[in-house]
A = this chain, B = another copy of it.
């Protein structure tokens, strides 16, 4: 099967989950995937709990074989601003050893490498040494909102020894990362309300300004060094394993490169003995994602606004618990709120941090899979994998663990160069071809 042709056809479906005018693109991508599975006599169907159905598929299951649950998502980010693309975002275009298209990397390209590898195996070998199940989601780019319901409702069908998630980043085609941890998240919106209406600022001086109250409150949420100033926030933070800090030494990205890729001149590192790359991976944060209050137009309007609000999200690390941090945060903010203000806190998003110890053999099958992956990565990509955490969150991975008790093996084929979510998204062809070869070997080694 030709990987390029498979992906080229796949990207023509404009499966933008956030754009309801592109519903046909979503349906087309689902039909394309079901066609792929049916050609291999793999049972596949659409399962819908939210806005867009997920594809659930499974090979014939034998009880004496290990079962792997493969996860990917067929929905993509919008292609706006289309003017900024060098080529049509929905036509696969080859240039300088890369394929350009929306979804070429995130995530159509990456899971295509897995699907084509499976096609290779099933059309050449009589029987796979593993049972496979597939979730190809259609709502990843809009928050995976119906995934918890999907996982709970499908619990009996989704039993597996581990999940294989191909939606993370590696450094480059010679340095593959097995992601061992993801930060969790707690998000909320905090609103301070003073008087009912905006007041003319001619009354200023005798009453507390809600923006003033909010900046004071927000300012106290960090120490001057930049540590999160929520009592108890760091209590459960587990130090990284020794092998994790050891791995960090093999990370070839230098500080200057990281600064450049973030577009900043200075790091702000509150944890003295942790580098920037370590801070992102091993330590929790409290970030302000948005703030708003009062007059938003051009020029000056001399009002004292009636309210002001801020959006906050915390990234959490093992062994912080999202629910506990949520309570600490609510308590701290409540205590900081001055008596002149009415307080509203609305929590929006929570997921627990995830950590998988590649060197722990409690999950025997996952340890075996990791060993197989390690060997395969070394032989196919040229170097042994790096075992690193990521600073971001993949809610699904925590959900798989919490709802189904399933750990995930996260192998990344995307890189920072892929411009995912941005114009001119692309993927290195060699990365996907090596990925295909690697996964073919990986599945056959069980």
- Interface residues, chain A, with chain B CB atoms under 8 Å away: 143, 183, 185, 187-189, 194-197, 199-209, 211-212, 214-216, 218-219, 222, 226, 258, 262-270, 276-277, 279-280, 283-285, 287-296, 299-305, 308, 310-311, 313, 315, 339-340, 348-349, 390-393
Q: State whether B195 touches A263 (Cβ < 8 A).
A: yes
- Give A304 to B287 CA distance when docked, in angstroms: 7
Q: State whether A262 touches B203 (Cβ < 8 A).
A: yes
On whether A268 and B208 interact (CB within 8 A), knowing A201-B313, A216-B219, the answer reads yes
Q: State whether A215 touches B219 (Cβ < 8 A).
A: yes
- Give A206 to B264 CA distance when docked, in angstroms: 10
Q: State whether A211 touches B310 (Cβ < 8 A).
A: yes
Q: Closest CB-CB distance, A375 to chain B, in whole Å? A: 29
Q: State whether A206 touches B294 (Cβ < 8 A).
A: no
Q: Closest CB-CB distance, A299 to chain B, in whole Å? A: 6
Q: State whether B264 touches A299 (Cβ < 8 A).
A: no
At the interface, is chain A mostly helix, strand, loop or mixed?
mixed
**Which residue of chain B is the closest to A220 with respect to CB atoms?**
B219
Q: State whether B287 touches A295 (Cβ < 8 A).
A: no
- Give A108 to B315 CA distance when docked, in angstroms: 58
- Give A392 to B303 CA distance when docked, in angstroms: 11
Q: What would be 26 A-B contacts, judged by CB atoms less than 8 Å apart?
A: A185-B302, A187-B300, A187-B302, A195-B262, A195-B263, A196-B263, A199-B262, A200-B392, A201-B313, A202-B392, A202-B393, A205-B280, A205-B284, A207-B264, A207-B267, A207-B268, A208-B266, A211-B291, A265-B340, A288-B293, A288-B305, A289-B300, A291-B308, A300-B313, A300-B348, A302-B393
Chain B residues within an 8 Å CB radius of A311: 294-295, 300-301
